[in-house]
A and B are shown apart, each in its own frame.
Chain A
Amino acid sequence: MSLLEIENVTLKFGGLTAVDNLSFTVQQGEVFAIVGPNGAGKSTVFNLISRFYTPIQGSIVFDGHDLLAEKASDVADHGVARTFQNIELFEQATVLENLLVGRHRHRKSNFLTELFFTPSVKKQELQSRHFVEEIIDFLDLQAYREKRIAGLPYGVRKVVEVARALATDPKLLLLDEPASGLSVEETTDMRWWIDDIRRQMGITVLMVEHDMGLVSGVSDRVLAMADGAKLALGTPAEVQSDPAVIEAYLGHAA
């Protein structure tokens, strides 16, 4: 069943075409990777799905809902969560607080009940905490629970980004370069985590990635992009051997 359908989406920034008539679908339960040289428009696709940008043509349908009719803060409500390439965590808060913010879309309380901290708010807090602890367990973040983001090393922050996105309990997880800046060990950890996310949690993963090892190790299908347009779509092996893709990365023989 297709979970996310991108059809004929185009976005221009002034004279620059960032995304050029792009179409692809993401099936439920798969790990789908987008690769391509820098400037290919990969993060722009994420920003379109997150509704930070609006395409000039095309449609984005998630789980039957037209995302283009939504604003950015409503996208999470439908079950789409994302991480950011350049870590956009809440620096002055602890890891635990960051993750608890992820539970915001499940908030049933309002200003008045929270002001008086009614028993229903207390119950909601306990539930949120319980849910978040499961994620902390899953990603081995116990040691960092009470630490402020501002003091944490880069590798840990990347994991917290993923944890926070998972805290929203999404159906689709958008990972923007989850392994960039990570060491080999950390990348291997990330690879198994992504696999577990798909298998154990049943979450569909759409990721932008440069590390071809990670991509071929964990993805079901890969979309190669260059200059905003689709180059090739298929299994990792197919895409890696596609001549157009090789030319985009390495150029053609002299």
Chain B
Amino acid sequence: MDNLQLLISGLANGCVYGLIALGFVLIYKATEAVNFAQGDFMMLGAFITIGLTNADYMGLPFWVALPISLGIMAVLGYLLDRLVIRRMFGESQTAVVILTIALGFVIRFVAGLIWGHEPQTLENPFAGKEVSFGGLVLGMEDVAVIVVTILLTWGLYEFFNRTKLGLAMQGASQNQLAAYYMGIPVKRVQGFIWALAGGVACVAGILFAAKGAVDPSTGLMGIKAFAAAVIGGFGSLPGALAGGLIVGVIEPFASRYIAAGYSQIAPYALLLAVLIFRPHGLFSQVRVKKV
């Protein structure tokens, strides 16, 4: 029973990692750039929602604040692309990566300026409620996290593989010139994907802040989400979720069964192991490069 509790809470955490990883993979699938600031997006989304919902700030009802903050994050993501990332169109992907690293620093700084550096939690309707499930007692927040994540992942997967826009995005990331020839407005597509990633990060942030406390440096957990994305193979949406779940589950079990100090290195050791032995993840999309 105890292990099952650990498993569930691990899964819930894993879903948050998975959602951040989903954001990474979304942007990667559409633009082949990696957004190192995705974790900080999550933090920003959490704080924006806190700023709208919590009694200390604006005190709006949760279900009113939710779409507003989703909207704000989506717009922020789009603006970021429009004003900053788009200027890098045509430059090497490394430059974009370094840019996003710097962006992460700036977002962290601004968040600290606006909301301070104290950890804060999101006041939400799931708090304190529980669900009984055949002998198991689950926090409502955990259930919400798991359910939302599964729905979102499934939705995005269908979007990418079935809808015209999703296929256009895949095409734009594989060969921009060809995509242009096919009439795909590559830059606009890119803007849309960043907006989407912003929204997904916001969801991750809300779910995380509902269960635990956020402060401006929370975004650094994005590194663990990297582990998730890599394990899943950087081009696969369900893979990102699977990776996130694996990382999320390993953490509580490691801290329970392995000596303290060693347990916190578990996700990073796992990441390194995957990178060394299966660099393209468990659900790899890469084939051999032909010269």
Q: Do A and B come from one complex?
A: yes
User: Is B291 located at the chain interface by the 8 A CB criterion?
Assistant: yes
Q: Which B-chain residue is minimally distant from A52 (CB atoms)?
A: B291
Q: In residues 52-73 of chain A, which contact B (Cβ within 8 Å)?
A: 52
Residues from chain A with a CB closer than 8 A to the CB of B291 are 43, 47, 52, 84, 86, 88
- Min distance, Cβ B92 to any Cβ of chain A, angstroms: 11
Contact with A along B260-291 (1 / 0, CB 8 A): 00000000000000000000000000000001
> Count of chain B residues with Cβ under 8 Å from any Cβ of A?
1
Residues from chain B with a CB closer than 8 A to the CB of A86 are 291
Residues from chain B with a CB closer than 8 A to the CB of A52 are 291
- Min distance, Cβ A131 to any Cβ of chain B, angstroms: 27
Once bound together, how far apart are the Cα atoms of A86 and B290, in whole Å?
11
Residues from chain B with a CB closer than 8 A to the CB of A47 are 291
Once bound together, how far apart are the Cα atoms of A24 and B291, in whole Å?
23
Residues from chain B with a CB closer than 8 A to the CB of A84 are 291
Residues from chain B with a CB closer than 8 A to the CB of A43 are 291
- Min distance, Cβ A83 to any Cβ of chain B, angstroms: 12
Q: Which B-chain residue is minimally distant from A13 (CB atoms)?
A: B288
- Min distance, Cβ B187 to any Cβ of chain A, angstroms: 24
Q: In residues 36-83 of chain B, which contact A (Cβ within 8 Å)?
A: none
- Min distance, Cβ B175 to any Cβ of chain A, angstroms: 15
Once bound together, how far apart are the Cα atoms of A43 and B291, in whole Å?
9
- Min distance, Cβ B85 to any Cβ of chain A, angstroms: 23
Q: Which B-chain residue is minimally distant from A84 (CB atoms)?
A: B291
Smallest CB-CB A-B distances: 6 pairs: A47-B291, A52-B291, A84-B291, A88-B291, A43-B291, A86-B291
B residues adjacent to A (C-beta < 8 A):
291
For this complex, 6 residue pairs linking A to B, each with C-beta atoms less than 8 Å apart, are A43-B291, A47-B291, A52-B291, A84-B291, A86-B291, A88-B291
